[in-house]
Amino acid sequence: MDLKTAARKSAQSLWGMLPILLGMLLLIGLINSFLTPEVYSKIFGHGTFLDSFLGAILGSISSGAPLNSYILGGEFLKNGVGIGVITAFIVSWVSVGVLQFPLEGKILGVKFSLVRNISAFFLSLVAAVITSYLMLI
């Protein structure tokens, strides 16, 4: 396959994914506008494990850029959210992509995307437990 054919096929593939990509970006923006750091800080407060689980779920749904996660983490800390919850939220926020799943499934395959997202979700909980434990030492 020559370069011209490869570029044409890549452009066609991107064009086919464009509606999913735009919908995903709009949905992420909409969810992130409703879920502010103040809302998150009101949600937590039910115990470390349940809060970490809720943090991982919310992080999985809202998803975002790693650079923004440090700002969010600082805001959560200021609002009294525990470090384990912040860890679960941030790790799942940058590694689990519930909203990106349709696009990821189309590109990488549904089975791979499902296994990757489930693994990343549970690993975010493991990271939260380890971080909470290390902060106690």
Phi, psi at 101, each rounded to 5°: -55, -45
pLDDT digits (tens, 9 = 90+) for 37-90: 677 667 777 777 888 898 899 888 877 777 677 777 877 887 778 888 889 999
Residues in the chain: 137
Is pLDDT larger for residue 64 or for residue 134? Answer: 134
CB-CB contact of 128 with 53 (8 Å)? no
pLDDT of residue 126 exceeding 90, the answer is yes
Specify the residue for token string 């800080």: 41
3-state SS class at 137 = coil
Q: Among all chains, which residue has been given the structure tokens 């902060």? A: 135
2 class by beta-carbon count within 10 Å (0-12 exposed, 13-18 middle, 19+ buried): exposed
Which pLDDT band holds residue 118 (cuts at 50, 70, 90)? very high
pLDDT at 122 over 90: yes
Contact 63, 93 (CB under 8 A): yes
Q: Do 97 and 117 touch, CB atoms closer than 8 A?
A: yes
- 48: its two tokens: 């470390």
DSSP code at position 98: T
Give per-residue pLDDT as tens, 16-29: 877 877 776 676 67
DSSP state of 47: -
**pTM (two decimals):** 0.71
